[in-house]
Amino acid sequence: MIRSILTFFAFIFSSLGISGANVQAHIHGEQKLVVSPGDIIVQQDKRGWSAIKILAIDPWPDGTSTAQCLTYRSVSTKPTTDSLKQAAVLVWHAPIAAGSFSEGWERIGNLAPTKDELVGFFEYLKLTDFPRYLTTTAQDPKALVHKANEHYRRAIALGDQGNRGEAVAEYTQAIDIFPLFYEAIDNRAFTYMELGKIREALADFEQSLRVNPNGMAAYFSRGECLMKLGDLRDAETIFRDGQSRFPEHRDMFAKFLEQVRTLQKKASP
């Protein structure tokens, strides 16, 4: 088991330009290079030179920290701070354990991250820590929510007019602005269902439940999508568990549970 975990981390870190030796060093608690925001660090390995720019450092209560990084594609000669300004980016944002940068890594300079370099990090924050995203990007929450609501209202009007494709586009803009807008996520999912795009609808209902785990409509409709896609076992679980999870809608869940079990019997050889 330990070996398989090490192999997994070696694969992930290798794809981001961190050698297997450094992964082992990190796992066994060795740390040789302390990084700070703006640091540009490089390392030579069998593929050439890897370079990483540290965008931010997030400390954790246990004393460890995560480096929010921009990684560059490997090059054959040692990079410089000037050459990296024209270098190809491998990953615009990757969270990497700050203790991973052990023997072999070298700091070649420190340049404050630019707005363009931070785009990937901002997108990460938008999806994982929206309050921090607002603070970091200095946006007005009221103005942002107002803008998202404008797209949301336009989407509803377009849907009422039968313009479902345009409605999806407006819902998408509302969600891009405000990823916690689960009402918009739900409505986009329902619109996808009306368009017969069940897999897209399922993905949206799952996204909605990550934002709002107690959303009854998303929970039930996820089961309905699974049933339409032929995933009867998972649909059965949702409709069965939904009866106790949402007792005020017990009859609706029970009705669909019966439908799923009927389909299962028909599908049995």
Segment 31-65, tens digit of pLDDT: 568 999 999 999 998 889 999 999 999 998 988 89
**Among the listed residues 65, 11, 71, 14, the one whose alpha carbon sits nearest the alpha carbon of residue 41:** 71
Tell me the domain boundaries of the chain: 38-114
Write the CB contacts of 101 (distance below 8 Å, at least 6 apart in sequence).
18, 22, 31, 32, 33, 35, 41, 52, 67
Q: What is the pLDDT of residue 105?
A: 92
Question: What percentage of residues in the chain have a pLDDT greater than 90?
Answer: 72
DSSP 106: E
- Please compute the mean of the pLDDT values over residues 98-116 and round it to a whole number: 90
pLDDT of residue 25 exceeding 70 = no
Query: Are 154 and 188 a contacting pair, CB within 8 Å?
Result: no
Q: What is the pLDDT of residue 14?
A: 52
CA distance 223 to 87: 47
Please state the separation of Cα 213 from the chain's center in Å: 16
pTM attached to this predicted model? 0.72
CA distance 46 to 35: 23
Q: Which residue has the tokens 């992964």?
A: 23
pLDDT of residue 27 exceeding 90 = no
Of 9-13, 55-59, 136-140, 169-173, which range is least confident?
Answer: 9-13
